[in-house]
Amino acid sequence: PPVTRLSDYQPPEFLIDDVSLRLELDAEQTAVDAELSLRRNPAATRGNGDLRLDGEHLALEAISLNGRALTPAEYQLEDDHLLVHRVPDRCRLQTRVRINPAENTALEGLYVSGGMLCTQCEAEGFRRITYFLDRPDVMARFRVSLVADPARYPVLLSNGNPAGEETLADGRRCVHWEDPFPKPSYLFAIVAGDLVAVEDRFTTASGRAIPLCIYVEPGNEDKCDHAMRSLIKAMRWDEERYGREYDLDVFNIVAVSHFNMGAMENKGLNVFNAKYILARPETATDADFAGIEGVVAHEYFHNWTGNRITCRDWFQLSLKEGLTVYRDQEFSADMGSRGVKRIEDVRLLRARQFPEDSGPMAHPVRPDSYIEINNFYTATVYEKGAEVVRMQANLLGPERFRKATDLYFERFDGQAVTTDDFVACMEEGGGIDLTQFRRWYSQAGTPQLDCEDDYDAATGTYRLEVRQHTPSTPGQPEKQPLHIPLALGLVDAEGRDMPVQLAGESQPPAPGTRILALRQPVERFEILGCATRPVPSLLRGFSAPVQLCYPYTEEQLSFLMAHDSDGFNRWDAAQTLAQRVLLAMVDDATTAVPASFLDAFREALQDETADPALLAEVLTLPSEGYLGEQMTVVDVDGIHRVRQALAAAIGSGLAAELQAVYARTRSEEGFDLSHAAMGRRALGNLCLAYLVRAGDAQGLEQAQRQFDGQANMTDVIAALRTLLEAPDAETAAAGEQALAGFYERWADEPLVLDKWFALQAQSSRPDTLARVERLLEHPAFSLTNPNRVRALIGAFASGNPVRFHAADGGGYRFLGDRILELDPLNPQIASRLLYPMTRWRRYDAGRQQQMRAQLERILEVEGLSNDVYEVVSKSLE
Ligand code: HT7
Ligand code: ZN
C-alpha cells in the first residue's frame, strides 16, 4: 500500500466553495446527489487540467459538468477516485451516487446503528458518501437536504442551522440544513432516526440564546442530565478562559450505540458513542461520569480548536487534538481537583504513550508518514501533543498564553493550518523563542533525564547535573537535544520548601518551585544558600513528558511521599516506592514485604486531613502493565504474583486502618457527584479491595453487603470485582452468583452489559480464556458492535496481562483469530486490538516466538486492510 508523506504535501489544485447535498435516505440504498462549485486554486501548481475526486464504495449513477451530462470518455472511474478530464477553471460538477449503509460494518461514511442512520467522516469517510476533495484544507460551505420516510426517520439532522422543511408529493419529508461556516468534509455529518430530544438552552456572553438538544433512542431520556450539565459548563468555561463563544443558532448532540471511537466534533452536530452521554448513578460509575464530562467538553472545544481553525493535512492532527486535549484537561481540572486530574493524566500518558514511544509504531507528535491515517489517532498525537501544548502554556504563563491563543484565533480563523503556525503564535504572543522547542513536534521518543547531585556543606551549595538522552526510534536513529522545562523544588529536613537561588543571582527568591530550562545534552546548576542538604523534588507537576532518573533512597521517597508540597510528586514518590518494592520482590522471588513500606502506607492512611481522592491515588499500586514496562524482560507471572501478594499484605497488615478509612468513607448519606463524594467512594473501594484480597472476613461481608445494597454502579462494580477476585473458593462462588444476578438485572442496558463482559474478561482466574471464548457465543455478543468487542476482546487482551500473556500462547492465538475475523468487518477496530501483540520484543523468547507467529500468520492473509497491514508489518520490522 502507498505511503503518504508530509514532505510530499501539495496544496489542492481545485477548491470547493459551495456544496449542495441531497440524500434520499434508506438503510439499504441511499441516493446522494451532490453539486460542487469548483474553482482552480491560484496557490497551486497547475496539473494536466484533470480534476481528481476521492470516492470509495460508491455506485456512480449520473455525472454532469455545468449542467451537461458527461460522456464516458470525459471521465475515468477507479476504485478509490474519479478523474474528470480537462475541467474549466470554474465549474459546477453534479454527481449522483448510490450507497448501502446497512452493509457498512466499518462505520466510516454513512452507516446504520440500531434503527438510525448516521455518519462518521473523520478522517477520510466522506469519500464513502460522495465524490469529493476529501482533504482538510478544502473548506466549503455546505447546504444539505435530507429526504426520508417520516415514520422511520422522524428526526433528520445535519450541520449548521435549520433551513426549512417540506413534505414531498410521495409523503416523504425533506429537511434542509445550512452551515454558514466553511468546513472540511471530515466535519460533515447527518443523523436520521426515531430519536427523542432532551432540551436545554445556553445564553452566550453576547446574549444569544442557543437551544441545546441531546438526541437519544427512546428510553434513554433519563440518562442525559450529566452530559447536558457538562456541555453548559464547557460552553461557559470556553467563554471565560479563552473568550470563545458558540457561533451557530443551535447545538445538537446525538448518542449512537455503534461507534469506533469516543465521539466526533462535527460542526454543530456532535455525534457520540452512547458511552460518553448516557449515565445515571445506577448504570454508570464515577469514572464514566468523569469520562462524559471530559469528552462532552472536548468535542465542544473543537468548535474553535479544530473546526473554525482546522488542520492543513492529517500530519497536523495534533494541532487540533493536542490542543483540545490540553483544553479539556484544564477544564476538568477546574471542575474538580486539579491535583488528582494531573495524576490521572500522567498515569494515562505513562501507561499508553510511553510504551508507544518506545515501540515499533513510535512516531513524532507530528508524524512524517503514514499508510493509514486512522492508525495515527494515538496517545502520542493526543496525550503527548497535549503535554507539548501544556509546556508552552507553562513557559508563557497564563496572561501571555491567553494573548498567544487570542492571536492564534484571530490570525487563523476560517483557515486550515499547521502546528508550526500554532507555535509561531505562541512565540509572537508570548515574546519567546521556541526554535529549539519545535523539536518536540518532529522528534519521536521519550527523553530520559539522568540527574546527579552533590552538596557542599561548607559553602551551602547544592549542585545538580542533568543529562538528557532520547533513545532512537524507528526511522530516527539520531536525536537532537530538546528544550525541556524542569520544575525543581528543594525540600529541607522539616519538609519545607527552600528558596532555589541559582548561582549569579544576588537575592534568594521566595521558597518554592523554580523552572530550569534544559537545552544542552548536559546542564549543570548551582544552587546557593542551602543551609542543609536538600531532598530534590524533581519534575514537579510532571513539567515535561520525560522519564526521570534520580537515585532516590527509600527514605527520601518516603519523606517526599509524606512532605513534598507538590501533590503530584507526593503521589509519584509513592508510586516509585511501590514500584521498587514490587520489582525487588520479583527479583528476589519473594512475597515478603518490607515493613517500612507498610509503615509508609499506614502513615498515609492515618492522615485524616488528606483529600480522599488524592489518597486513593497515592495508595493505588502501579498496574501490572506499567510494572512490566519498567523491566528489561517483562516477567508476566512474577509481576502478577507479587502485586497480588503486596495487596494481600496491605490488606492483612493494615486491616484496622483500612477498616477505619472504609467506615469513614461510608458514613455519608445519599449519592452525589461532587469531587469529595467521588473521592470517598474511590478510597473506600480501594480499602475494600485490599481487605478482600487478604481474605478478611469482615471485608468479604462488607463487599457482599455493598453489592447487595445496589446503591450506585461505582460501589456495585467495585464490590463485584473484589468478590470475583477473592482468593477463597467460597467467596469466588458468591461472586459468580452476584455476576449472574447482575446480568439478570441489566440484560437490557447495553452499556451496563459491556461492564459485565469486561469484568469477566479481566478476571485473573486461570480459566478466563475459556470463559472469554464461551462469551463469544453469548447471544448478547456481537463482532459488529465496537463497544462490545472492546468490552470482551479488548479488555482481555489489553486489560488482563497475566491471562493474555499465558505462556502456552493461548491468548495470542485467540487474539490472532479475532483480528482475522474482525478485519474484513471493521479494520479500525481490528487494528487497535492488535496493540498488545506489537510489544512482543519486551517478552521472553517463548512468548516472543508465539506472538511473532501470530503476527506473521496475519500478515500472510490476502486482502488485509491497510490499517492492520501497517501495524503488523511495522511491528515485525
Ligand atoms: N476527532 C475525533 C476523531 C474520531 C475518529 C477518527 C477516526 C475514526 C473514527 C473517529 N471518530 C472520532 C474524535 C476527537 O478526538 O474528538
Ligand atoms: Zn478530539
Q: Classify the C-alpha dihedral 842-845-851-852 as positive or negative.
A: positive
Residues 436-447 pLDDT 10s: 999 999 999 999
Q: Which one of 119, 122, 126, 790 would you pick to mutate in the ligand 1 pocket, going by the greatest count of ligand atoms within 8 A of its CB?
A: 122
User: Mind giving me the DSSP string for 485-545?
Assistant: EEEEEEE-TTSPBPP-EETT-SS---SS-EEEEE-SSEEEEEEE--SSPPEEEESTT--SS
- Phi and psi at 770, nearest 5°, equal -60, -40
Residue 375: nearest ligand to its CA? 1
Count other Cβ atoms within 10 Å, centred on residue 185.
Answer: 25
Record the cell numbers describing residue 462, joined without a space: 547544592
Match 476560517 to its residue by C-alpha cell.
414
Domain extents for the chain? 4-194, 310-442, 448-544, 576-740, 747-877
Q: Which residues are catalytic?
A: 299
Q: 298 in ligand 1 pocket by Cβ < 6 Å?
A: yes
Q: What's domain 747-877's superfamily in CATH?
A: Peptidase M1, alanyl aminopeptidase, C-terminal domain (1.25.50.10)
Confidence of residue 216 (pLDDT cuts 50, 70, 90): very high
Confidence of residue 120 (pLDDT cuts 50, 70, 90): very high
Q: So what's the pLDDT on residue 876?
A: 98
**Cα dist from 295 to 56, 302, 776, whole Å:** 30, 11, 30
Region 746-772: mean pLDDT is 97
Answering whether pTM is above 0.80, one says: yes
Region 138-154: mean pLDDT is 98
Region 381-387: mean pLDDT is 99
Residues 45-65 pLDDT 10s: 988 889 999 999 999 999 999
Residues 461-476 pLDDT 10s: 999 999 999 999 999 9
| Per-residue pLDDT at 667 exceeds 80 | no
Fold of 310-442: Neutral Protease; domain 2 (1.10.390)
Confidence of residue 612 (pLDDT cuts 50, 70, 90): very high
Confidence of residue 140 (pLDDT cuts 50, 70, 90): very high
Judged by average pLDDT, the poorest of 113-117, 589-593, 756-760, 830-834 is 589-593
Region 192-214: mean pLDDT is 98
Region 148-153: mean pLDDT is 98
Q: So what's the pLDDT on residue 790?
A: 98
The answer regarding whether domain 4-194 maps to CATH 2.60.40.740 reads no
d(CA 13, CA 86): 13
d(CA 19, CA 141): 6
H or E stretch at 791 = none
Residues 633-643 pLDDT 10s: 999 999 999 99
Q: Which atom of ligand 1 is nearest to the CA of 373?
A: 7
Ligand 1, atom 2: nearest CA belongs to which residue?
Answer: 264
ipTM surpassing 0.90: yes
Residue 693, judged by CB atoms within 10 A of its CB (0-12, 13-18, 19+), counts as buried
Q: So what's the pLDDT on residue 213?
A: 99
Residues 307-325 pLDDT 10s: 999 999 999 999 999 999 9
| Per-residue pLDDT at 708 exceeds 80 | yes
State the CATH architecture for 448-544. Answer: Sandwich (2.60)
Region 535-560: mean pLDDT is 97
d(CA 764, CA 724): 9
Backbone region of residue 542 per phi and psi (left: phi > 0; alpha: psi in -120 to 50; beta: other values): left
d(CA 142, CA 101): 21
Q: 829 in ligand 1 pocket by Cβ < 6 Å?
A: no
- Mark the residues whose beta carbon lies below 5 A from ion ligand 2: 321, 324
d(CA 441, CA 87): 39
Distance 321 CA to ligand 1 centre (A): 9
CB 365 within 8 A of CB 382: no
In DSSP terms, 453 is beta-bridged to: 464
CATH topology match: 310-442 vs 576-740: no
Distance 382 CA to ligand 2 centre (A): 8
Count other Cβ atoms within 10 Å, centred on residue 690.
Answer: 28
User: Mind giving me the DSSP string for 360-415?
Assistant: TT---SS-SEES-GGGG-SHIIIIIHHHHHHHHHHHHHHHHHHHHHHHHHHHHTT-
Smallest Cα–Cα separation from 642: which of 624, 658, 618? 624
CB 389 within 8 A of CB 242: no
Smallest Cα–Cα separation from 639: which of 519, 531, 764? 764
| Per-residue pLDDT at 732 exceeds 90 | no
- Give the gyration radius of the chain's Cα atoms: 28
CB 118 within 8 A of CB 189: yes
d(CA 816, CA 837): 9
Region 619-624: mean pLDDT is 98
Fold of 576-740: Zincin-like fold (1.25.50)
Amino acid at 768: T
Ligand 1, atom 14: nearest CA belongs to which residue?
Answer: 264
Region 183-200: mean pLDDT is 99
Percent of the chain residues topping a pLDDT of 90: 97
| E strand map for 726-798 | none
| Per-residue pLDDT at 669 exceeds 80 | no
d(CA 498, CA 488): 11
- 3-state secondary structure (DSSP) of residue 45: coil
In DSSP terms, 514 is beta-bridged to: 488
Looking at every residue in the chain, the average pLDDT score rounds to 97
- 3-state secondary structure (DSSP) of residue 805: coil
Q: So what's the pLDDT on residue 728?
A: 87
Residues 251-294 pLDDT 10s: 999 999 999 999 999 999 999 999 999 999 999 999 999 999 99
Confidence of residue 668 (pLDDT cuts 50, 70, 90): low
- Phi and psi at 767, nearest 5°, equal -95, 20
